[in-house]
Amino acid sequence: MSTKNLLVELFVEELPPKSLKKLGESFSEVLYDSLIAQGLALKETRVTAFASPRRLAVHIESVSLQAADRSVSQKLMPVKVGLDAEGNATPALLKKLTSMGADASVVPGLRRETDGKAEALYFDSIVAGVKLPEGLQLALLETIARLPIAKVMTYPDPTGDGWATVNFVRPAHSLVALHGRKIIPVSVLGLTAGNTTKGHRFEAGVETIVLEEADSYARQLETEGAVIASFEQRRAEIARQLAAAAGKEGLRPIEDDALLDEVTALVERPNVLLGQFEKEFLEVPQECLILTMKANQKYFPLLDAQGKLTNQFLIVSNIRPKDASLVIAGNERVVRPRLADAKFFFDQDRKKPLDARVLGLSRVVYHNKLGTQGERVERVQAIARAIGQQLGGDALAMQADQAALLAKADLLTDMVGEFPELQGIMGRYYAQHDGLSDDIAYAIEDHYKPRFAGDELPRNSVGICVALADKLETLVGLFGIGQIPTGDRDPFALRRHALGVIRMLIEKELPLSLSTLIDSAFAGFSSGLLSDAHTDVETFIFERLGGMMREQGYSTNEVEAVLCMRPVQLYLVPKQLEAVRAFAALPAASALAAANKRVGNILKKVEDALRQAQGERIVVDAALLTEAAEQALYQALSLIAPRADAAFAAGDYTASLQALAALREPVDAFFDSVMVNAEEPALRANRLALLAQLHQAMNRVADLSRLAN
């Protein structure tokens, strides 16, 4: 079967820039996967995706004009149902064959095979492979249907009478489908495939580009249409030009992958130009200027070697005039009012101290069931004080209280009202302007951290207290009113808040009890406002911790062995996991894990009776140890358990677990030789006490039974 390269392009109005990358990837992947499923393309072939502001396209190598024929075997019915006593087809079989497009002539050739229950009839046939026009038509329809379009437009069908409409992300104008040089007759969105497209809206060399063949697409678009069709190539070219232009000035452009993607989706022929603004605007915090240039104008601010903002910026233009001065001047003129607004907001905000804004938070609704931002601030203050008291006594508690009081005040400033992304950051600037210490100012900025995976943690202890309090208040409050994440839905980002709590406790090695922290958070709420969701919150956090540890490379068994013990202090969990991993590598680990599981199962059945008889402290009577194997286990345990306990107390969990390896032989011998459930009650109780001591010694660091296969 001959193969040629295939090109499919959909030419449209300007696509949403923030969606273009995903649209391009989806267009190529879904169409390619559909052709593979139909046998028209191979899995190992090369696929090139194209996506520019006005086109989605894909180039696929080695696509067949027709898929290979394939054998199909269909089970019909049991032989006793399909054939009568003389071996003739029954009416049921004839009806089944007719529905499949066959007749009685195929009956002698039907295959018989036992399906495990009875002998059945099978119809074997050869199905002709799908031809490319039909297969590509199906693939196109599936591709259009599965594009990740957030919101569709409705516009008149280009082939209709004015009444028919088409729904798509943007109005589509033409369709290209070339197999080598041949046009494949497919249609979609009211368009019929051809071999023509258009280039750059202003700088194309020709009005209409007639594509020679599938392989000439990228070349012709660039040479005749002044368009770099590949999203990745265009992105790389922009990055190259940005670096070169900044390098000439001894500066560097701000790094922002999302902005680079968005700009790539806005231009077809990138041309980077250098602009500048008045230096007086640099008196405004650079975060404000950077944000307004990025968000509103899509410019790349330039930083000096120390990371400080300069008054120069880079523009990614979509045209390449001989004299770019008018383009630069126009962009400089446009950015000036934006920067002036930022300066005005900054100057106005500083006329009123942060603490004067706190009362205004009582008029801002936080949640209809949880009250206002003012009430929320009071709760965060109470929780932050409790955490500060545990970590640093009265001094830290007092600082945490002050920072928590002011942490949300910048929500009422003009700057944050215009740029919500600056909340916390502006609070820090205004706190410093008010003469507050850096400990308080940085805590105000940092209490939102970590905002995302990989984000930095708060810089000081005050920030840690307020950040923990803020996240715990959110978790406890929303769980307490039943706003629990389900599936992919997490509108209040509670998973992110839980991971933030975990990261701070572990990475800052905070000696805080998770359960106590949750209790402190619940105590910050008015009585009766929340339902008791302490266990749900704790479980939720441990689930996030488990996922986090698995992402770091620990196995499910290792994670469950540690977390099922509900460790009090989370910062010890990584050390416990390392110890479990080291123990699992020992030759004795598998046998001890299996024995530990067996011991646990035995003790579960007698747990209550044993506790009633012995109390919380399990005691073994050495005089009742009659068997040599139980005596040997008792002696080994008496020798090894203190060593393991001492290592555990010293925080050397690896040594604690490795000390237990010496118990393998006496444990194996015990189970081989000793009947635990002896008929004599005293003997049975003593042996159960011995096993209880063994179980207790083996499961201080982790539940080793979770390592058993």
| Confidence class for position 616, pLDDT limits 50, 70, 90 | low
Q: Would strands 3-12 and 55-64 be described as parallel, antiparallel, or unpaired?
A: antiparallel
Length of the chain measured in residues: 709
Q: C-alpha distances in angstroms, 132 versus 2, 34, 38, 66, 343?
A: 12, 12, 9, 5, 61
Distance (Å, rounded) from C-alpha 457 to C-alpha 447?
A: 9
Distance (Å, rounded) from C-alpha 169 to C-alpha 17?
A: 12
CA dihedral for 460, 461, 464, 470, sign (positive or negative): negative
Report which of 176, 156, 173, 177 is spatially closest to residue 165, judged by C-alpha positions.
156
| Confidence class for position 610, pLDDT limits 50, 70, 90 | low
Q: What is the CB-side half-sphere exposure of residue 526 using CA atoms within 13 A?
A: 7
359-380 average pLDDT score:
96
257-261 average pLDDT score:
96
More confident: 148 or 609: 148
CA dihedral for 75, 78, 83, 87, sign (positive or negative): positive
Q: Tell me what pLDDT residue 626 has.
A: 87
What is the per-residue pLDDT across 502-531, written as a single tens digit (0 to 9) for each?
A: 999 999 999 999 999 999 999 999 999 999
More confident: 103 or 545: 545
Distance (Å, rounded) from C-alpha 542 to C-alpha 499?
A: 10
Residue 162, judged by CB atoms within 10 A of its CB (0-12, 13-18, 19+), counts as exposed
Share of the chain above pLDDT 90, in %: 74
Q: Which residue has the tokens 């302490």?
A: 534
Q: C-alpha distances in angstroms, 494 versus 473, 479, 529, 541?
A: 11, 9, 19, 10
Q: Tell me what pLDDT residue 613 has.
A: 54
Query: Can you give 528-576 as a three-state secondary structure string?
Result: CCCCCCHHHHHHHHHHHHHHHHHHCCCCHHHHHHHHCCCCCCHHHHHHH
Cis previous bond, 420, omega within 30? no
Asked if pLDDT for residue 552 goes beyond 80, the answer is yes
- Is-contact 609 665, C-beta < 8 A? no
Q: C-alpha distances in angstroms, 316 versus 24, 135, 283, 288, 289?
A: 21, 41, 26, 21, 18
Q: What is the pTM of this model?
A: 0.81
* 3-state secondary structure (DSSP) of residue 88: coil
Distance (Å, rounded) from C-alpha 363 to C-alpha 532?
A: 28
More confident: 677 or 253: 253
Q: Which residue has the tokens 């159960």?
A: 688
Q: Tell me what pLDDT residue 653 has.
A: 93
What is the per-residue pLDDT across 393-438, written as a single tens digit (0 to 9) for each?
A: 999 999 999 999 999 999 999 999 999 999 999 999 999 999 999 9
What are the φ and ψ backbone dihedral angles of 574, each rounded to 5 degrees? -60, -40
Distance (Å, rounded) from C-alpha 185 to C-alpha 136?
A: 9
- Is-contact 555 705, C-beta < 8 A? no
Residue 263, judged by CB atoms within 10 A of its CB (0-12, 13-18, 19+), counts as buried
Distance (Å, rounded) from C-alpha 473 to C-alpha 385?
A: 13
Token pair recorded at residue 290: 């950077």
* 3-state secondary structure (DSSP) of residue 706: helix
Asked if pLDDT for residue 612 goes beyond 70, the answer is no
Token pair recorded at residue 409: 């005040």
